[in-house]
Amino acid sequence: MSIFVGVDQIDKVFNLTGGGQYIALKGIDLQIKKGEFISLIGHSGCGKSTLLNMIAGLDLPTDGLVTLEGQRITKPGPERMVVFQNYSLLPWRTVRENIALAVDSVMKDLPTGQRKAIIDKHIDMVGLRPHADKQPGTLSGGQKQRVAIARALAIRPKLLLLDEPFGALDALTRGNLQEQLMQICQENEVTAVMVTHDVDEAVLLSDRIVMLTNGPESKIGGILEVDIPRPRKRMEVVEHPSYYSLRSEMIYFLNQQKRVKKIRARKTTAISRHGLEKVNLEIGFIPLVACAPLAVAKEKGFFAKHGLDEVNLTRETSWRGIVDGMAGGYLDAAQMPSGMPIWLTLGGHENRPMSVVTALTMTRNGNGITLDKRFLDQGVKSLPDFKQYLLRTREKRHIMGVVHPASMHSLLLRYWLAAGGIDPDKDIHIQTIPPAQMIVDLQKGSIDGYCIGEPWNIRAAEEGIGFTAAGDLDIWLGHPGKVLGVKEEWAEMYPNTHIALTKALLEACYYCSLPENAEEVRQILARKDYVCTDMDYIHLDDTTLKIPSADGLVREYAHHQFYAESAINRPSRTEQIWIMTQLARWGDTPFPRNWVEIVERVCRVRVFSTAARELGLDISYTRQPIQLFDGKSFNADDPIGYLNSLAIKRDFSIAEVVLDSPIRRAA
């Protein structure tokens, strides 16, 4: 289908009183097909109405162009009608006269009888026949808005533009009018663009939802395709499988923009002090027990001790928030799943390589695979049992939750399933879910289980809603859990800061590992600023933990390991190569032909060694083989041969991954 409305790389700049400029929109690119209903959504000040006005011809872009059927829009025209929130009716004219004013102006060449017929048709279309001869002052808000819509449609515009048309109406009136508008647009093949703040309205009415980032320099942050079939009814739409995912996507985007605004408000240019290039840092984390080193470094003063005077810890609800923070540049560093630096570097995010490096493994272990307790009634207690259950129930859709495709949870779950002869993409469905949502979904039965870090496995077992089918002791004892991640560009710009940050967190790791500090660390983690949970779910013991499971047995858990000798905090190239093979195995990223270069750039061993040496900690290291539960050996010198030896996998690709040359800080 050809482009009906074209918005081609437009910028909009406003000159400010007293000099200066405000860049409202930057690089907006949008193509609209004939008959499409498009919604524009975003926070106040993001330029939604500005964009609508330029499509209407009420304003012109500073750069770029807007076209309708290939013709440049330079002024308002009757082929584009705007419906405003405030109705814009002439109070001294009746409903009929307000509509007639538009019809008579645009269609003056038509005979009087035809014009009258058009007016009557549109009065009936919006259900206002009993009120046709009333003035606006006697009408309700919903009736006035119907007059405005009828007036706009009566002149048969090619494009209907709506600027929050239902924002001032009560819920019942708004719902009725939305359904009328959908019916009118569908029956008359009207192309429409609407500005809204209402996420439910956007899902109900739209074919596509365009989400705009905060201004200044607002951009399109994402476009959602609404795959709900038409005609739509409000109560039927909420039952569609896509409804809540679309709604959640918009709410996540809007909340993320709100957080970005707060971070930018307090973020200043780099402050150098104490021989460090930057002491004011924004560091992202997820509320898990594994965030302990960050929480302890903040609360016990390790950041300040190493010269990082102004560290703010940003609590994100999901790993996606961490990815967005790194990609958007408003996080300096972040706690990451051990696979995320490689995943980002290889282009896992939006198919664009983003070089991220790690100089510190902050935690090992602490993960588990939990299944719903209802599986016990089916005799499922182990991996072979689970496989037999799946074979018996092929007609059902089984869902397992993970927090991110590159998390060790996802890689371990997939490896565990595949080793048991279960294809993790064909025999079950793996779904990305925020950590805190896992136990809620398990409790209501919308997922069959999950693989995640603590405290969520132990909590499910203690509350009797699930049981741990496999833990670190059963899959891979000592696997990397969470790492410190920074952009490669950032590491090169702030090398001394990077070392100081690594020192502060390594010292915090050591502090967390001491048994005499366990109670204090648990108290810190339980606070609302961090994990925000009952202390009983937080375990930091220096031995394996024994918890009664829902199957009546006692399950042993491997505790989070924050520090030990033999340099377990050192970033491991062997482990990162294994992660590369697993990402390629499941089609998340290609296996890089230049894998040696990639792993050397991602693993900043020199930074770790410098930090550990300056702290006087053990930095000796002996390369250890990776040993998983199935006994299959991993050869880091021949990763492609290892990949080819795996029975269950996707068709993986091998490609040269081209990274930007790292920016070196000027001497």
DSSP state letters, 229-296: PSS--HHHHTTSTTHHHHHHHHHHHHHHHHHHHHHHHH--SPPPBTTBS--EEEEEE-SSGGGHHHHH
Neighbours of 601 (CB within 10 A): 18
| Structure confidence at residue 545 as a pLDDT band (50, 70, 90) | low
List, for residues 146-191, the tens digit of each pLDDT value: 888 888 778 778 888 988 877 766 777 677 778 877 887 887 788 9
Tell me which of 553 and 47 has the higher pLDDT: 47
List, for residues 430-474, the tens digit of each pLDDT value: 998 887 788 888 988 889 999 988 778 888 888 888 888 898 888
Statement: residue 554 has pLDDT above 70: no
Residue with tokens 């024994």: 546
Query: Which long-range CB contacts under 8 A does 113-116 form with residues at least 24 apart?
Result: none
List, for residues 72-115, the tens digit of each pLDDT value: 999 988 888 887 777 678 889 898 888 888 888 888 888 888 88
pLDDT of 666 reads 37
pLDDT of 665 reads 45
Contact 188, 153 (CB under 8 A): yes
Q: What is the mean pLDDT of residues 572-592?
A: 95
Query: Which long-range CB contacts under 8 A does 114-123 form with residues at least 24 apart?
Result: 118/154, 119/154, 121/154, 122/150, 122/151, 122/153, 122/154, 123/95, 123/96, 123/99, 123/150
SS (H, E, C) 89-146: CCCCCCHHHHHHHHHHHHCCCCCHHHHHHHHHHHHHHCCCHHHCCCCHHHCCHHHHHH
Tell me which of 414 and 554 has the higher pLDDT: 414
Tell me which of 277 and 158 has the higher pLDDT: 277
Strands 159-163 and 191-196: parallel
Beta-strand runs (E) in 437-581:
449-453, 466-471, 480-487, 545-548, 554-557
The DSSP secondary-structure symbol of 75 reads S
Cα distance between residue 146 and residue 134, in whole Å: 13
The share of the chain scoring above pLDDT 70, in percent, equals: 95
Q: For residue 106, what are the CA distances in angstroms to 77, 101, 153?
A: 10, 9, 12
List, for residues 495-539, the tens digit of each pLDDT value: 999 999 999 999 999 999 999 999 999 999 999 999 988 888 787
Statement: residue 644 has pLDDT above 90: yes
Domains of the chain: residue spans and CATH: 3-79+157-258 (3.40.50.300), 270-360+479-534+564-575+582-655 (3.40.190.10)
pLDDT of 547 reads 59
Cα distance between residue 63 and residue 58, in whole Å: 15
Strands 367-372 and 449-453: antiparallel
Cα distance between residue 451 and residue 457, in whole Å: 8
Statement: residue 266 has pLDDT above 80: no
Cα distance between residue 431 and residue 6, in whole Å: 36
Residue with tokens 């001790």: 305
Contact 219, 27 (CB under 8 A): yes
